[in-house]
Structure 1
Amino acid sequence: MSRKVDSVKDINDSKETWRLAVRIMDVWSVVNNKGIEHLEMIVMDSLGDRIQVLIRHDHLLKWKEVIKENMTCIINNGSVYNNDFQWKVCDHSKKIVFLGGTTMKAIELQNIPPKGYFFKDFGEILQGKCKTDRLEDIIGAVSEINHIQSNTPGKKVVVSVVLKDLKLPTNEQKEKPTQSAKSLSNWSGGSQYSPVERFVHNAKCMSLSQFCKIKHETLYVTVATTLKFVVSKYGWFYYGCTRCSSKAPNPEKAYECSCGQKVEQSIPRYKIEIYVSNGESKYRFVFWDSECAAILGMTAEFMHNSMVENGEDDPMVYPDELEILLNKKMAFRVKVQPTFSQASVWKLCDDEAFVKEIENDYIV
């Protein structure tokens, strides 16, 4: 088990678990008028497609000394937004922003050229066939320099230049470098109740739009569709007791769990955060070990060990098999935790008839 590499041209805002094999073509620092610094860079994959990347000031210390121009690497995880940079350096409509859960591993990738220029012809610029907010690659010579000094203190010097076209041969100008399963946890209620009645017992049923306004912790039942993973710095699993789901204080040391179990070695257990949606409403749900294992048909320990055997030791890499959890309409019994803007999934079911009955008969 591993995660396939994505193409830069396919990047969109449908997920955060992107895995890119790229070369860092350029990296630069930006300081705003308040003195706050962030990093921007341009990365390119083996197909020659490029995208602009932003590293916020709160992640600057982690990455400033790690990122080097012209290095090749594997980047995992990142938020995707519309490319709203004031000055764009490529045509991609999206940009990537590093998360707390973003990882990067330097690796030699011979299939990505060291440089990739996309030269703009002077004739096209003069004809207006260019974007005014994009930085273009051109080949020319400075034939005249004009200095225009602002009289306002603190303002930068404005320099205008006249360029002479040094056109390359035409063939060199723009060449690109070369399973689904049903899950319903057991309920200890009496047999006189139907599965749906046991599912909603002692819980309030409401739509997700109402659900998002809850201000106190309690049990709720709702219907929603899983949308995309929320990538956190903790990844998709944690190390826990071999008997219960308690988190291990240190996975490498023996300890006595609160359940009374003497634990010599902890095991990986699922803990996956997923955005769910219904209409325009969206909320963050936390899926735990037993529910994930029921849908995926395998334990977190098995999935983790399989990844390690295939040479993937980065705990922040979300294996492709986890995507079975996405795009599924389900009924959820959850405990809402408004302090953390999340809900903890206690039970779930993706049986179509079951979901429809709850949606039609219980949710107003």
Structure 2
Amino acid sequence: LRITDMWRLNKHNGRQSIEMVLMDHTGTKIGATLWQELFTEFEPKLHCGGAYVIQNMKVVDTHSDYKVSAIKYLVYFVKTTSVKEVDRHEIPPNVHVITSFADIISGVAKLDTLVDIVGVIAEVIERKTVNPAYRVTVKLRDNSHVEIIMTVWEEYVLQLNDAIEKNHFGQKPLVVMLTLAKIKEPKDDEGGVSQSQSTQNCQDKFLHNAQIVSFGAIKTLRQDCYYLTVGTVDEVMIDTPWSHDSCPYCTTTFDPLKIGAACRSCQNHVTHTIPRYKLVVKMEQNGEKANFHFWDAVCIKIFGKTADECRQELIASGDEIKVFPACVDQLLGKTWVVRFKHRIQMQQSSVLDFSEQEHHIQSVISTLGLQVIII
């Protein structure tokens, strides 16, 4: 057998386990569980991708909602289990049986069985990458032109979000393969596969589901929520760094001097850090001013390059990386509608997206009853 997937799991009763997917030479898969009581004996012998002869495993019926295949059995490691690593080139690294979106929607694919899917990203619905719980939601379309909604969480967010950002300028079809995915029934309020959502025009997509507020009203907000406002960039605050080093698995700031330790947020072992933007921008609106935090994804959209690329340019020109890059100056004087999330506890407004389209600006100005902003 070959171990094709392997992960740790905290059970609801407090016990820990290592879950595995075992595959034979025919590509048939079965789930396996190693309980924490046997970690010391077996964990050093097992690694993902390895091939083994395993004897004396306990076979049990499984009623799990997370079966790795249609097989109704699960195997356990026990004290008398024997494990021997071997070379078995006839067992492929992995075999994926792709489930069609039509089978998922029609119910042919069972809710209690994990599936492998492939599709092209047709629409990015939501990217929550600033604070836990991190998630990215997209609409996928398969080769039969059937669409479903896919959400990835936590450590998988970085992989997908980075791919989306890197593809932002190339605008090539972005194909995603998701393995061992859990099928969930859509909630009525999600509207993920509804026709109305997919046919909304661009203005609705940017302006919908957010309250429009003036700068003066931001100070009086009493709940964490999504808001829209309009203003002109007056100043980029230079008393805070323009970038920070972060954990590669999430967006939490991580000191490069502590590489080798675990991230305080996601608990992953950090072997390297990723530079990310963190700009504090003061905007003006009819005499009133407010500060907004522009994070990595938004800044990449504005500048067309990553924070790491900016740092490399500074180094090449002989400057320190703490020097603000020249591209930041292009923010000054820009008039935008900004979509932001306000956090009451931190009194912080984080920009999630922006628009400089005339009809968006005039729509928000009209709603707020502001004087016309000269663009």
TM-score interval for Structure 1 and Structure 2 normalised by the shorter chain: 0.3 to 0.5
Larger CA Rg, structure 1 vs 2:
1
TM (normalized to structure 2)?
Answer: 0.43
Q: Tell which has more relative contact order, 1 or 2 (C-alpha 8 A, sep 6+).
A: 1
